[in-house]
Structure 1
Amino acid sequence: MSAAPGSSIVQAMYAITALNSVILAGVLWRHRDRPGAWPLLGTVLGSGLWTVCGLALMRIDPGPLALALLGLLFLGVGVGTMAQLVFTLEYTGREELIRPPILAALSIEPVLVVFTVIANPRNLFYALSDGTVEWGPAFWIHTTYSYVVLAVVTVLIIEFLVRSRSLYRGQSAALLAGTLAAWVGNAAYVFGAVDVDVSPIGFAVAGILYAVAILRYQLVDVVPIARDRVLDTVTDAVFVVDDEDRLIDANPVGRRLLACVDGSPIGTGVDSLLADRPALGEEVRALTATRDPAERELAVGDDYYLVRTTPIEDGRDRHAGWLFVAREITERKRRETRLERQNERLAEFANIVSHDLRNPLTVAGGHLQLAREADDPDPHLDEIERSHERMETIIEDVLALAREGRDVTDTEPVDLAALADRAWASVDTGDATLAIDSSAPILADPDRLWRLLENLFRNSLEHGTDRADGADLEVAVGTLGDARDGSGAGFYVADDGVGIPSSQCDRVFESGYTTDGDGTGFGLSIVEEIATAHDWTSAVAESDAGGARFEFRGVEPAGDATPADADVGSDESSIGTDPSRS
């Protein structure tokens, strides 16, 4: 920062540094749409202005032009320093600090310095003595301020360098070395360690290191997008992919998963990493095709992973990439496969048993019919026929249990009231009546919900009253609001019959449990199997009229979807319109 002429070597270094700044500015301008490019461009232009003005001051005599150039020189110093701070804040993930009030406050010092340099009241900034410059108190205040900013920049980069385990280490090291090279040279001159201002040499070195950061480490292409370090203790594989689909970070588990890749995978495109696994590459591209969180099960060789993707945004709500978390679920998938095979074998076994049992029953039924046609039929034939019917019922119930226990995978909007009416019409209800207290569309498998209602209606008719034909028995169906325990909305089926003793409430859903000598004990077991297949919870309680009340919660409302039974008519109310029953 000398106005005195410099040696030809120093002037040459200034010229080289200025040319280097122009080249770097051109590279950054081509990448100006990338995060961090603008403040880094400001840093390069500021240092370039400083260098050009310094070179010009070496070649002209003191005067108005020299004074103007000196003002521009310190403008370059201020712009470069502040731009470097802004870039560092953005680079290290502290974009929330880059706000207009803060930027305005940071601009005050450079503006004041320029005016102070040009006006220089009472030699406040500098004084000329025998052709040399003696710096005043304003200069030292400015220098202190600049070095404080530099110290903050250095600490931020060092902190990021220490905690970074990815491609950013090379970037950060190059940036740190370049920053120190430029300012160490300036400090050596300012504090008298050398007689000639060697700042341009430092800037030349900084330019080379910045070029390395840009060209070798893709500084303006790959910018930090993950704010916190992924912990080494995470057992899931974690990957960070930028918006150009390049892998820019991975935790140790993720790196082990990519052990098949030669060399370091960091900075490599996802397509290149998965070039030998095109099917897996298609699955990954499908996950990044949307900027919404996504989840998918992927096969990697003989293993299975549940992969969740979360879009990442920078501090200005701009899309910056994706976070992939891959959890190995191989053992779970194997258990699911074994369970599916067991269920298939169970269903096949039930079908075989029912077929093998029905054949002798059919033969026995034929002989029973022949016996009834005899001249003197045996009075025990009626008992034999009832036994046959009971065996047929048991076979049907066993088959139902095998089928209804399978998970419900496809649901659709169902009008509860309309389906209840249909199920009621399919049961021999005698003189009993059905009341719809409240109704709303719900998501369910309509066929299985129909069978659930049929079994509950039969249970009420068979156990709810001692009167023939269900005389005076009323069965009610209604919706339930959200419970206080958070178990969700649902529906109920209740009657005003004799009810269920409290001592038996915990056993009514047990397979084979019945209080009726003629019953199979499977009806309510089938009800619970259907509810469980829907992921609903089942409970039995006393109804308002003293009878039995069966409640089902965790039922998902259908919202505005059109119910499957809309042609029958539906109540437009939503689940939860009957809070008195919740």
Structure 2
Amino acid sequence: MGLSYALAFVGYFMLLELFTQIDLDTRALFALVGITGLPVVFDIAGYTTPLLIDITYEPLGVAVFAVGVAFVYIDRFDAVQLAGERDVPIIALDADNHIRDTNRAARTLFPDLDGTEGIHLETILPEVADCLDSDNPILKLQQEGSIRYYRVTEAPYGTAKAGLGRTIVLTDVTDREMYREEVERQNERLERFASLVSHDLRNPLNVATGRFELLREEEGMAADNPHAEAVDRALTRMDDLIEQILTLAREGNPVDQWDAVSLSSVASSCWKMVETNTAELRVADDLEFKADPTRLQRLFENLFRNAVDHGGPDVTVTVGALPDQEGFYISDDGPGISESDRDSVFEPGYTTREEGTGFGLAIVDEMVGAHGWEIEVTESDVGGARFEITGVETVA
């Protein structure tokens, strides 16, 4: 019996320590648990004095504890369990959205919560209540001269039958929201830039191209006139540059609509859209994964054009799944890319060909980043270029 009492004392101490660590009001719980210690007093009294019958009184304490938990304090235990070991702001509500309890972090964030037990949440914190009914439950708060963002979530507590209430948890997501806003601002700047390029550059270029064609007809210039050919090449190059810049500006937005795609199907269809001359496409194996089909098509077309432009008309391009990572590769048997140039090939304007725009691989890099993937340039098994795209989400 001495060992039993010793173990019981240890248990009481552990519960006391737990209750003191939790910010919610646990005084009632502590009193309830303390009732279970009364049988010890009765046992000692029954053993040492004739005032009580010398029997075991532990069942009495257990019964009182069980009744208290079942009919009075079960919701309080649930709230304490949900709030335990949490340093984020937590607000416990009853079934009618009245405030039951709050932890220290919540009262620090919202000083008006102090002493508000029994008051409706919307009365004290209407902005939090609005977040719960919103499709975007992000709360924006001004704190000490800075702005903080919190994601407001809720979870029910209590038994399924009783449905006693719910807890409101506010998680700090400031860094993520500030990054998202910065991305949105950047995208807006890029869209304005794309609009500027499209209108202020393309329109004059179209006028110049049309006037040049009229001039050739009026002057009767021969088709192989070197000066006319030089002007025609320059105008065509400017048109290509504008198109590439527009694509680069618009394709970097994060992908928001994903579809299941087949690596072999995408590669085959994109190969038909590129002037490949006598080049050959080989698909080593297939892979099912999620992507934006439109941007994925442009990604493949740009890589295929890059292989044909640098590897020659007889280049062989191989597409397949990576054996040890979630991803795929596009490789060729051309001259490859030197190790010193591999960090530069994705920079806008970088090219080793006089007639190249230098934007093809930059666009590929933007579209890879828009998917949340990563791309790396290595050497293929036959010494050519190999582009490895990793981080894709495969489909079982």
Same fold (TM over 0.5): yes
Which of 114, 133, 153 is residue 8 of structure 2 equivalent to? 153
Q: Does the 8 A contact of 2:83 with 2:90 survive in 1? A: no
Distance in 1, Cα, partners of 2:378 & 2:337: 8
In the alignment, what sits opposite 2:246? 399
Counterpart mapping for 1:138-217 below 5 A: 145=1, 149-150=4-5, 152-164=7-19, 165=22, 166-176=24-34, 178-179=35-36, 183-184=40-41, 187-188=44-45, 190-192=47-49, 196-197=51-52
Distance in 1, Cα, partners of 2:169 & 2:113: 19
Q: Does the 8 A contact of 1:230 with 1:251 survive in 2? A: no
In the alignment, what sits opposite 2:81? 226
In the alignment, what sits opposite 1:52? none
Q: How many residue pairs end up in the alignment? A: 378
Distance in 1, Cα, partners of 2:102 & 2:361: 52
The one-character-per-residue Cα deviations of 1:449-476 (angstroms, maximum 9, x if unpaired) are 00001101111111112xxxx1x32111
- SS in structure 1 at match of 2:218: coil
Counterpart mapping for 1:282-321 below 5 A: 284=132, 297-299=137-139, 304-307=149-152
In the alignment, what sits opposite 2:197? 353
Pair 415,170 (structure 1): closer, same or farther in 2 beyond 3 Å = same
Q: Does the 8 A contact of 1:237 with 1:251 survive in 2? A: yes
Pair 188,498 (structure 1): closer, same or farther in 2 beyond 3 Å = closer
Question: Residue 228 of structure 1: CA displacement?
Answer: 9.2
Which of 146, 167, 170 is residue 326 of structure 1 equivalent to? 170
Question: Residue 275 of structure 1: CA displacement?
Answer: 5.9
In the alignment, what sits opposite 1:558? 395
1:273 aligns with 2:125: no
- Of stretches 161-170 and 542-551 in structure 1, the one that deviates more from structure 2 is 161-170
Pair 305,417 (structure 1): closer, same or farther in 2 beyond 3 Å = same
In the alignment, what sits opposite 1:372? 216
1:474 aligns with 2:316: yes
Distance in 2, Cα, partners of 1:249 & 1:480: 53
Question: Residue 428 of structure 1: CA displacement?
Answer: 1.2
Q: Does the 8 A contact of 1:491 with 1:552 survive in 2? A: yes
Q: Does the 8 A contact of 1:261 with 1:273 survive in 2? A: no
Question: Residue 308 of structure 1: CA displacement?
Answer: 6.3
Pair 338,286 (structure 1): closer, same or farther in 2 beyond 3 Å = closer
The one-character-per-residue Cα deviations of 1:340-387 (angstroms, maximum 9, x if unpaired) are 133112212222222111121112112211221134536411101100
Distance in 2, Cα, partners of 1:353 & 1:285: 42
Pair 227,273 (structure 1): closer, same or farther in 2 beyond 3 Å = closer
In the alignment, what sits opposite 1:501? 338
Identity score, percent:
36
Pair 162,501 (structure 1): closer, same or farther in 2 beyond 3 Å = closer
Q: Where in structure 1 are there 5+ consecutive unaligned residues?
A: 1-144, 288-295, 483-487, 560-582
Distance in 2, Cα, partners of 1:350 & 1:300: 31
Pair 259,198 (structure 1): closer, same or farther in 2 beyond 3 Å = farther
Determine which structure has more spread, i.e. the larger CA radius of gyration.
1
Distance in 1, Cα, partners of 2:264 & 2:373: 19
Q: Does the 8 A contact of 2:94 with 2:165 survive in 1? A: yes
1:510 aligns with 2:350: no
Counterpart mapping for 1:70-89 below 5 A: none
